[in-house]
Amino acid sequence: MSLLSTFEVVARRRSFTHAANELCLTQSAVSRQIKALEGELGLPLFRRLHRAIELTPEGRRLFESVTRGLGEIAGGIEGLRSAAGNAQITVAASVAFSYFWLMPRLERFSAGHPDIDLRILATDQQLDLRQKDVDVAILYGNGQWNGVRAHLLFGERIYPVCGAAYLRDHPDLRVPCDLLGQTLLHLEGGGDIWGGVDWRVWLMSQGVTGQPVRRGVRMNSYPMILQAAEANRGVALGWSYITDAMLADGRLVCPVEKSLETRAGYYIGSLEQAVDIPAVASFLQWVMGEVAEMPGLA
């Protein structure tokens, strides 16, 4: 089992060095364990390339088997914990989803499920539930993930937002092409969760192909972007599941009544073998109930 665990990390990270860092071992120790496993099997599991490694066909088959097995073990352990009354689940979501959508509602979940210990993992990288110690994740995409049961929460709708004072100071901002003359707030390095929609993509979707005439402001955190928009520093892109509520309470306004709807969506997902664990099932049901109460998004 020790050799297989080391193999799983090396195969996942595609690097002896990165695997050694994750396992808190030396690179030579990791290399020795992989050689020992290959000796046990009588097969090469990796091709050693210049500054890189890749799995052999036999290595890929073993990797698939090991990841399935580790996932089933993790699900079994969580089931035992739940049966013993130690219900604890880890929920992964983007930083923005965690900050703006999940955190304001968690008190209601805790009130209804005081026996469940919830751990929130905020990350802007796409997750592979088979590779992470995560029970439930908010996933962005088309709803198709191998071994994952996913439920659509809402689609992706994106539109410009800014502060009310900014709009008052820029009365010429009425249609999409007017945005080229505004200070645009850009999300930079925000990870995979946003699906590639930025100002260039949004403007092109509205038939605007020119270049902004003002310098924009770039930030690597979406909460910072919206804080800057609220502070009248410029115009940001708003994702409806976050910013609809901010429009409703007057924190932001929509200067241009145009939006982009993509084919992707936001899903809540869990591994097939974990969906019937009581704590996981309770959280899934609670999130879908909360979404059902959001007008226009469910």
Same-domain status, 293 and 221: yes
Q: Say if residue 13 is exposed, middle or buried (CB neighbours under 10 Å; 0-12, 13-18, 19+).
A: middle
Q: What is the pLDDT of residue 81?
A: 56
265 and 297, same structural domain? yes
Residues 199 and 113 in one domain: yes
Q: What is the DSSP string of 256-293?
A: S---EEEEEEEEEEEETTTTTSHHHHHHHHHHHHHHHT
Domain boundary among 42, 59, 78: 78
Q: Is the same domain home to 109 and 226?
A: yes
- The tens-digit pLDDT sequence of the chain (298 residues) is 788 888 888 888 888 888 888 787 888 889 999 999 999 899 999 988 877 888 998 988 898 888 777 767 766 666 665 555 557 899 999 888 998 999 989 989 999 998 898 989 888 877 778 767 899 999 988 888 888 999 999 999 999 999 999 999 999 999 999 999 999 999 886 555 556 789 999 999 999 988 888 889 998 888 899 999 999 999 999 999 999 999 999 999 999 999 999 999 999 999 998 898 899 999 999 999 999 988 765 3
Same domain, 96 and 137: yes
- Give me the pLDDT at residue 158, please: 95
Among 78, 97, 118, give the residue marking a domain's end. Answer: 78
Alpha carbon distance, N-terminus to C-terminus of the chain: 44
CA 11 to chain centre: 22
Whether residues 17 and 113 fall in one domain: no
Lookup: tokens for 129: 């539930």
Whether 42 and 93 map to the same domain: the answer is: no
What tokens appear for 242 in the block? 């976050």
Residues 100 and 199 in one domain: yes
Number of domain units in the chain: 2
Amino acid at 34: I
- Give exposure, 259-271, as e/b (b: 16+ Cβ within 10 Å): ebeeebbbbbbbb
Q: Are residues 156 and 249 in the same domain?
A: yes
**13: domain range?**
2-78
CA quadruple 148, 286, 93, 228: dihedral sign: positive
Query: What span, in angstroms and rounded, lies between the C-alpha atoms of 23 and 26?
Result: 9
Same domain, 8 and 57: yes
Torsion of CA 61, 269, 189, 175, to 10 degrees: 130
The residue with tokens 């007008």 is: 295
Provide the 3-class DSSP secondary structure of residue 231: coil
CB neighbour list of residue 246: distance below 8 Å, 6 or more residues apart:
161, 226, 230, 238, 252
pLDDT value at residue 298: 38
For residue 230, the model assigns a pLDDT of 94
| Final residue in a domain of this structure, among 57, 78, 99 | 78
